[in-house]
Amino acid sequence: MNQEPLDRLIEQLNAPIKAQRLEALRGIRRLVDQGVIPQPVRGVDVNNHIHSIYSFSPYSPTKAVFRSWESGLTTTGIMDHDSVSGAEEFVQAGLILGMPTTVGAELRVSFAGTRLEGRRMNNPDQLTVTYIALHGIPHTAIPELVKFFAPISKARGVRNRAMLVRINALLNKAGVVVDYDKDVLPISMSHEGGSVTERHLLFAVAKKLTARFGRGADLVAFLEQSLNLPVTGKAREYLLDAANENYEYDLLNVLKGNMVEQFYIPATDEIPPVSEVSLLAARLGIVFAYPYLGDIAESVTGDKKAQLFEDTFLDEVFDTILDEGFKAVTYMPSRNTPTQLERLRTLCEQYEFFQISGEDINQPRQKFICEAMRKPEFSNLYDAAWALIGHELSATDDAARGLFSPNIVAQYPKLPERMAYFKDYALKRAAA
């Protein structure tokens, strides 16, 4: 076929209006049904952790589903920060392509008042404050979560503006000023309930610095000599390449990995206590999950520096999250050592936590498929993805029929039994 019509449709997957994005995807689906575009080769790969433009990502919810489908995933899941406003579009896009989906969200909670107060867990920027994940969100719960996130986003916006003042003080020597309303908000989906994160602030900085210095040696020199940021290895290679099509994202990674501590203001008003979110998740039938980060020697994506996290007190973490009502632990096999993963998985089995995985996708260089998950020891993570889909579908139909609902737990007391039930339920629904 002539590639041009398909290229136009793919470009429209990131159109500014949701209806345009979904209509472009329907156009692609018609080409598939007509045999003009072949179905991608599909194995067993899954991914439950894909960000969209409603937090920070190069992909609209529609394009995220398309890229998942194009990459050969069998299931895909949205996971935005402080937002579920892209979830319904993501689910609709999955239905168009016949691709099973899951809905999730990330947010930060406070462990103040628990035995983990004052500890650095999975958050590089702040003690006591920890990222958690809401997985398998029933679709009927989305409107309530939109309301729940609204004051969080409002408070975060106040702090964002204060942090931008500090950023501009750092950039002053270059004569660069970033305006929150003119430069930051337009690259977010805040007008439709999307969140604005530190990545948005720094992406706006990346655009301003690229406009000021151009691409290449002058910009690298400013980063190293004026901002005192290390630019080494692959990052240096990328930023010296003026033809690099991912230039601003690669610059963002350098800024995110090395600059945040110079302007960061601790989050307070937008951080709910862990107990509040645990109760919310239980009431709405959401799978409440702790994302394990683990000590980092070298960041896979280049946006985190070497740092110690929860490995030295991991047993205490498990004791505490059990007490706080967590039901699952999420992790990424590509980001940890075999020793870290073996210990983590042993603890999950000991504490009977549901294990979920997904490759964190928020920039164009990342692959949607996690090849590390293809090792035989991680086969449980494929079963978990299908069980999560079954849970979400079932709990959407009936809030009392979720993976951790009391009546289901009474019927299937052992987690592996429940996983098998919900996996079978999901596969039957997918085949229908």
CATH of the domain at 316: 3.20.20.140
Spatial separation of the C-alpha atoms in residues 402 and 223, rounded to whole Å? 50
Q: What is the distance between the alpha carbons of residues 279 and 291, in angstroms, rounded to a whole number?
A: 18
Per the structure block, which two tokens stand in for 190? 């805040």
Residue 195 shares a structural domain with residue 140: no
Cβ contacts of residue 418 below 8 Å, gap of 6+? 387, 403, 408, 409, 412
H or E element at residue 391 = helix 379-397
pLDDT tens digits along 15-30: 999 999 999 999 999 9
Start-to-end CA distance of the chain, whole Å, equals: 31
Residue 286's closest CA among 79, 7, 29?
A: 79
Residue 93 has pLDDT above 90, yes or no: yes
CA-based nearest residue to 254, from 240, 274, 242: 240
Q: Is the confidence at residue 301, as pLDDT, over 60?
A: no
Question: Does one domain contain both 142 and 155?
Answer: no
Residues 184 and 258 in one domain: yes
Q: Which helix (H) or strand (E) holds 249?
A: helix 247-258
Per-residue pLDDT tens over the stretch 31-55: 999 999 999 999 999 999 999 999 9
Could you tell me if 142 and 192 lie in one domain? Answer: no
What pLDDT shows up at residue 72? 96
pTM for the whole structure = 0.95
**One domain, residues 89 and 196:** no
> Looking at residue 71, what is its pLDDT?
96
C-beta atoms surrounding 86 within 10 Å:
29
Which of 199, 230, 263 is a domain's end point? 263
Q: Are residues 143 and 157 located together in one domain of the fold?
A: no
pLDDT of residue 417: 97
Residue 112 to residues 45, 54, 106, 149, 275: CA-CA distances in angstroms? 38, 29, 19, 20, 10
The structural domain count of the chain equals: 2
Listing DSSP states for 272-336 in one string gives -BHHHHHHHHHHHT-EEEEE----BSS-SSSSS-SB--SGGGHHHHHHHHHHTT--EEEE-GGGS
| CA separation for the pair 359, 46 (Å, rounded) | 9
Residues 58 and 182 in one domain: no
Residue 419 has pLDDT above 70, yes or no: yes
Asked if 196 and 184 touch (Cβ cutoff 8 Å), the reply is yes
For residues 324 and 289, is the Cβ–Cβ distance under 8 A? no
Place of tokens 């579908």: 393
Which value, to the nearest 10 degrees, does the dihedral of the CA atoms of residues 9, 10, 15, 20 take? 40
**pLDDT, mean over the chain:** 95
Asked if 285 and 142 sit in the same domain, the reply is: yes
The pLDDT of residue 199: 97
Q: What is the pLDDT of residue 5?
A: 84
Q: How far apart are CA 237 and CA 232, in angstroms?
A: 8
pLDDT higher than 80, residue 213: yes
Give the pLDDT score at 255: 96
Q: Are residues 138 and 157 in the same domain?
A: no
What is the widest separation between alpha-carbon atoms in the chain? 66
pLDDT digits (tens, 9 = 90+) for 135-152: 999 999 999 999 999 999
- Residue 304 pLDDT more than 90? no
The pLDDT value recorded for residue 306 is 76
Counting Cβ atoms within 10 Å, is residue 234 exposed (0-12), middle (13-18) or buried (19+)? exposed
pLDDT tens per residue, range 171-195: 998 899 999 999 999 999 999 999 9
The CA-based dihedral angle spanning residues 250, 251, 254, 259, taken in that order and rounded to the nearest 10 degrees: -150
Among 242, 263, 284, residue at a domain's last position: 263
Mean pLDDT of 262-285: 97
What is the extent of the structural domain holding 376?
3-149+272-431
Region 303-321: mean pLDDT is: 88
> Residue 58 corresponds to which tokens in the numbers above?
């190069």
Same-domain check for residues 406 and 323: yes
pLDDT greater than 60 at residue 302: no
Of 263, 286, 302, which residue is a domain's last? 263
Whether residues 138 and 282 share a domain: the answer is yes
What stretch of H or E contains 75? Answer: strand 75-81
Q: Are residues 233 and 123 in the same domain?
A: no
- Confidence (pLDDT) at 298: 58
Percent of the chain surpassing pLDDT 70: 97
Query: What's the confidence (pLDDT) of residue 303?
Result: 47
How high is the pLDDT of residue 68?
A: 97
pLDDT at 358: 83
